[in-house]
Structure 1
Amino acid sequence: MEFKLIIKKINNTLSPEEESIFDIWYNESAENRNYFAKVQNSYQSDIDNINLDKAWNAINKKITPEKNKNQFYKYAVAASIALLLGSGIFYFTKPREKVIEVVEKPKEIAPGGNRGILTLSNGKQIVLADISAKDTIAKEGEKEQVTIKMDAKGVITYVINPDADASEADANLFNTLSTPTGGQYNIVLADGTKVYLNTVSSIKYPTQFNGEKRIVELEGEAYFEVAKDKSKPFIVKSGNQSIEVLGTHFNVHAYNNESVVKTTLLEGSVAVTHKNQKAILKPGQQSNVSDNFDKIAIRKVDVEAAIAWKNGRFKFDNAELKTVMKQLERWYGIKVEYRGDVSDVRFNGGTFMNKNLSEVLKVLELSDIKFKVEGKTIIVYP
């Protein structure tokens, strides 16, 4: 990770492609996250401790305004120093002189979009925003057994060479599709299974399913439309949970920073296994598992709320405030801070995900919650 990308991240000046690369690096390890926090704290400390009088004196030695120019010239130069430091508000005070305030208008926080990074079996990373529709992304296998393409809608597809021979070596080729903060992406696996990947998520899968089972690994959230194959079960692994299906539609919510893994079934049936416990879900049911409990909890839910993200909507069904704000953090790349107890606040309703954050917050404010926006930090008041 180039140091300049870290500084651009701190100042919120990354391009969407740079944001994707940064997020992959940031989520790769705790060591990377700690390093970023250290740089961020050091950078902020440097800004907080800067001596504006010394900065003005340094510039004043190099610039001598003409006598017919008024005092505003001096403050305009000083104000420019503050703006170059990337701050929003600065006050400049000189003895017996008027205070000048420079305020940067809050910027709209835009929604996420179609962004993803494909990591090939050889470690090469491809930023999918750089790939044109209908392009061949790559060919994999010793004899180019699999061709990876992008269709006209930007969906990744895998085409198996009909003349290719399956081998143990080629069976071990795995790709990983990842989405950054504010990114979603769709993929069609080699067996025809459709996967809709939500933001800050990743799925690891073989380029072709040669074994007795079709196994993929998920971190984050994804909606699956599994191609039917009675002879070859489809299995989704998420942490300590395993889901087995033959062909059905379901959603898995399994973020590492959330204690509960939720599996919601829309049609067909799935078998959920966790800590030697097994449960069969029926359409309209959701299983909840946690490392803190051995038992698999099953309940009836609003499935439309569970998969609203796939359809471009936020839909809240008696959702806790902190659950709602976690969705906004991932989609808008914001940080949320709380002032006071909000544990009893719940939401019903929703809005579209293509709205700027300010419009979404207006909807939430209908529940008597107040928000203050400071850069990309949202402060919540009950």
Structure 2
Amino acid sequence: MNRDYTGYSADQLLNDEYFIHSELHPAETDKAFWLTLENENTALAGEIKMARIFLKNIKNGTDKEILSPEAEQELWRVIVLENRRYDTRFMRRVKIGLSMAASISLLIGIVWYAQPAKDEVENDYRTILENMRQPDLQSGDVQLILSDEENISIDGKESCIEYNEDGSVRINSGENIKSKEKTAKSDPAKAFNQLIVPVGKRSKITFRDGTDVWVNSGSKVIYPEYFDEKKREIFVEGEVFLDVAEDRMRPFVVKTKQLEVAVLGTRFNISAYESDEYMQVVLVEGKVEVQTHEKEKKSLSPNQMLSYNMLTHEENVTNVNVNDYIAWKDGYYLFRKQKMEVVLRKISEYYGVHIVWNERLK
């Protein structure tokens, strides 16, 4: 085999006939060929690894999902790194996402006979996550997008959204604007709402279980109309502070593209902006378990912060003054030993204004 695979990405490998054949029907010569490439090219080895994860999961199948959590997280990692590498915004991300989706579709067609039915909720989550790649977070009003695709625009710097037991939604203490009853034909636990909070705006969600979620500027939260009977789960891109109502029968799970936090009842902050070098989880009270796709679960105690480096995948747990990380929900920031670049960026996002500074201030 003399083909040059230098520079190939995982999605290109998943569209390559020889790669697919050698993985599904491996011969000794094929194994030796790919092993040599992996030893000679570490970047290509990483792409081969990810392609094999997808192929293995699709070939073997499970009774719930085509992609394992590890494979799904690996997909996000590659998409993020590719977006940063080429330093373009909308079109580049769309191209990468579509090409990866096409690769997965091709493999599903090849090994469809081996697949059991997928869990519908996971399908919906994955579709919504795809839509999170390019949210319009730079200007405009807060947007509440309901599961029936009704778009509610909320004016003002601060907003409050409250969900009631009867399915109604109240915005800024006004009249109920939406009512959807649970029926035998529809499962609201499989229908999702989205809250988009652009820069310069803040919002607060109160769920039916009593959990409060403060959403910072430039953030997006996705959640079901009704929480599942066994767990409460939301997806976050950006920064949120949570005061979780205790329910020992239903843990509360917050997922981002790189980590997952599980609690029963506690107060904590998550910062998971795509543009940041680090994702951070800060615990105010109670106890949380944090897990990334590379590491085992880590438990945090009050006044501790877990930092996760998006590029190196390194984790670090330190003791912090939690007020420095949660003051934003009360309308102000506290900065201690922060880089000027970070300070100015957060101020820019919080007030929704563009700030120009000397590059030497970094």
For the superposition of Structure 1 and Structure 2, which TM-score range results when normalised by the shorter chain? 0.5 to 0.7
Mapped to 2, the partners of 1:323 and 1:127 lie a distance apart of 30
Q: TM-score, normalised by structure 2?
A: 0.56
Distance 1:115 1:305, change over 3 A: farther
- Which structure has the highest strand share of the two? 1
Partner of 2:43: none
Distance 1:179 1:151, change over 3 A: closer
* Residue deviations 1:315-355 (CA, integer Å, cap 9, x gap): 11121101101112212333344434224xxxxxxxxxxxx
Q: Equivalences for 1:186-225 in 2 at 5 Å? A: 186-225=204-243
* Residue deviations 1:1-52 (CA, integer Å, cap 9, x gap): xxxxxxxxxxxxxxxxxxxxxxxxxxxx714999xxxxxxxxxxxxxxxxxx
Q: Equivalences for 1:329-368 in 2 at 5 Å? A: 329-343=348-362
Q: Equivalences for 1:1-382 in 2 at 5 Å? A: 30-31=90-91, 116-129=142-155, 146-150=167-171, 152=173, 164=182, 169-274=187-292, 275-343=294-362
Shift of 1:279: 0.8
Partner of 1:99: none
Aligned partner letter, 2:341: K
Distance 1:272 1:158, change over 3 A: farther
Aligned partner letter, 1:280: S
* Residue deviations 1:220-276 (CA, integer Å, cap 9, x gap): 111100111111110001111000000100011111110210111000000000123
Contact 1:279 1:296 (8 Å CA) reproduced: no
Aligned partner letter, 2:271: H
Contact 1:284 1:302 (8 Å CA) reproduced: yes
Contact 2:267 2:286 (8 Å CA) reproduced: yes
- Which structure has the highest helix share of the two? 2
Aligned partner letter, 1:117: Q
* Residue deviations 1:63-106 (CA, integer Å, cap 9, x gap): xxxxxxxxxxxxxxxxxxxxxxxxxxxxxxxxxxxxxxxxxxxx
Contact 1:157 1:189 (8 Å CA) reproduced: no
Contact 2:168 2:176 (8 Å CA) reproduced: no
Distance 1:136 1:32, change over 3 A: farther
Distance 1:235 1:340, change over 3 A: closer
Mapped to 2, the partners of 1:237 and 1:303 lie a distance apart of 21
Aligned partner letter, 1:126: I
Partner of 1:52: none
Shift of 1:135: 11
Mapped to 2, the partners of 1:295 and 1:147 lie a distance apart of 43
Aligned partner letter, 2:171: M
Aligned partner letter, 1:237: K
Shift of 1:119: 0.5
Distance 1:293 1:188, change over 3 A: same
Partner of 1:57: none
RMSD of the alignment, in Å? 3.6
The secondary structure found in structure 2 opposite 1:190 is: coil
Mapped to 1, the partners of 2:176 and 2:358 lie a distance apart of 43
Q: TM-score, normalised by structure 1?
A: 0.53
Aligned-residue identity in percent: 28
After TM superposition, which residue ranges in structure 1, 4 or more long, deviate above 6 angstroms?
Answer: 133-137, 154-160
Mapped to 2, the partners of 1:136 and 1:223 lie a distance apart of 16
Count of residue pairs brought into register by the alignment:
228
5+ residue gaps, structure 1, are 1-28, 35-111, 344-382
* Residue deviations 1:280-313 (CA, integer Å, cap 9, x gap): 0100001001232344210111111101111111
Contact 1:155 1:187 (8 Å CA) reproduced: no
Larger Rg: 1
Mapped to 1, the partners of 2:308 and 2:276 lie a distance apart of 11
Contact 1:160 1:190 (8 Å CA) reproduced: no
Distance 1:193 1:160, change over 3 A: farther
Aligned partner letter, 2:279: V
Mapped to 1, the partners of 2:248 and 2:201 lie a distance apart of 33
Contact 2:201 2:352 (8 Å CA) reproduced: no
Contact 2:161 2:206 (8 Å CA) reproduced: no
Aligned partner letter, 2:264: L
Mapped to 1, the partners of 2:254 and 2:277 lie a distance apart of 18
* Residue deviations 1:144-193 (CA, integer Å, cap 9, x gap): 962112253x79999886xx457763221110111111000111112221
Partner of 2:81: none
